[in-house]
Amino acid sequence: MTSFTPIAAPASAEPAPIPLWRRFLAHRLAAICAVILVAITAAALAAPLVERALGLDANSVDIFNRFGPPDGTHWLGTDELGRDMLLRLLYGGRVSLLVGLAVALGASLIGSTVGVVAGYYGGRLDSVLMRLTDGFIALPVLPLLIVLAAIDLNKLPIPAVIADSQAVSLYRIIIIIALVGWTTVARLVRSATLSVRTREFVLAAEALGATPPRIMARHILPNVVSPIVVATTLSIGAVILLESVLSFLGLGVQPPIPSWGNMLTNAQELMSTAPHLAVYPGLFIFVTVIAFNFLGDGLQDALDPRASQPKGF
């Protein structure tokens, strides 16, 4: 009698995971916004080269050429003091992007620290840190920023050299917004830490005698980086908008340092006679904020392993 050996059916091969960059590029709108942001950033960084190539000075005042139209020398015309509009926009972009990136990174550092500590230790420390976070969330952000930005630094125990320097308004706005903008990152990181702290590799590290700071830095923080990246990216646009609002109100970055916000301040009384002075910086603010928001959405889809179909148009 002939015996037949059953042939095992071939195991169905699981589909290979889609690389992160392909998942991001599948979100076409986010990819386009990333290209736009790279172009804006590159143009802003190249401001000194453009200034040298045009043979102009971004801060040079020419009262005989006020509100000049675009020409071969001034590609976007001149402002109310005869300064080149293109160069002012590029240098203003350097300041606005610097504020956005610096505040977002600073707020992410504070929020990540608070979130990881609260989620890892739990208990009373978690309750205290989360109630502190809720207190910051409950504060009206814009009025608070206006009050803090209006404080006279000469009345504080700060050296006069620092208080009277031109760049102090830039540093102050970065510190102020970072100190109140960390709450979203803290709550997201805490939630992710609560999930990661019960994993086997964390329990194994504790059993081997690793200290809590080492566990948080080496084992927990790298596994909660996705919400940090997404929240940081999304917050850059909001920070640029906040800086623009404060500068528009005269409480942010102060002239002669240009920013898109204080360029709008100078143009608000000239809307009827020279509307381009407000259109250009307003357009740059609008495009940059929208682009960062779509970039954050794309990163969220790409970093989410459960996202089966990244969004396109």
Q: Can you tell me the mean pLDDT for 56-71?
A: 86
Write down the pLDDT at residue 261: 86
6 vs 278 pLDDT, higher one: 278
In the chain, the percentage of residues whose pLDDT exceeds 90 is 36
Q: Which of 57-61, 108-112, 158-162, 169-173 has the lowest mean pLDDT?
A: 158-162
Write down the pLDDT at residue 121: 92
153 vs 187 pLDDT, higher one: 187
pLDDT band at residue 8 using 50, 70 and 90 as cut-offs = low
Model confidence pLDDT, tens digit, residues 202-211: 989 989 888 9
- CA 50 – CA 87 distance, rounded (Å): 8
Name the phi and psi angles at 78, rounded to 5: -125, 165
- CA 229 – CA 278 distance, rounded (Å): 32
pLDDT band at residue 306 using 50, 70 and 90 as cut-offs = low
Is residue 74 left, alpha or beta, with left meaning phi > 0 and alpha meaning psi from -120 to 50? beta
pLDDT band at residue 305 using 50, 70 and 90 as cut-offs = low
Whether 99 and 253 have beta carbons less than 8 Å apart is answered as yes
Name the phi and psi angles at 199, rounded to 5: -70, 160
List of domains in the chain: 22-57+65-303 (1.10.3720.10)
The full length of the chain comes to: 313
Model confidence pLDDT, tens digit, residues 182-240: 999 999 999 999 989 889 989 899 898 889 999 999 989 988 888 899 889 989 988 99
Write down the pLDDT at residue 60: 86
- The token pair at 238 is 């909001």
Model confidence pLDDT, tens digit, residues 28-42: 898 999 999 999 999
- The token pair at 113 is 């620290």
CB burial string 98-121: b at 16+ within 10 A, e below:
bbbbbbbebbbebbbbbbbbbbbe
Q: Can you tell me the mean pLDDT for 108-133?
A: 93
Q: pTM score, two decimals?
A: 0.83
pLDDT band at residue 311 using 50, 70 and 90 as cut-offs = very low
Number of neighbours of residue 140 by Cβ within 10 angstroms: 9
Write down the pLDDT at residue 23: 80
Write down the pLDDT at residue 15: 57
Tell whether the torsion through CA atoms of 132, 289, 99 and 41 is positive or negative. Answer: positive
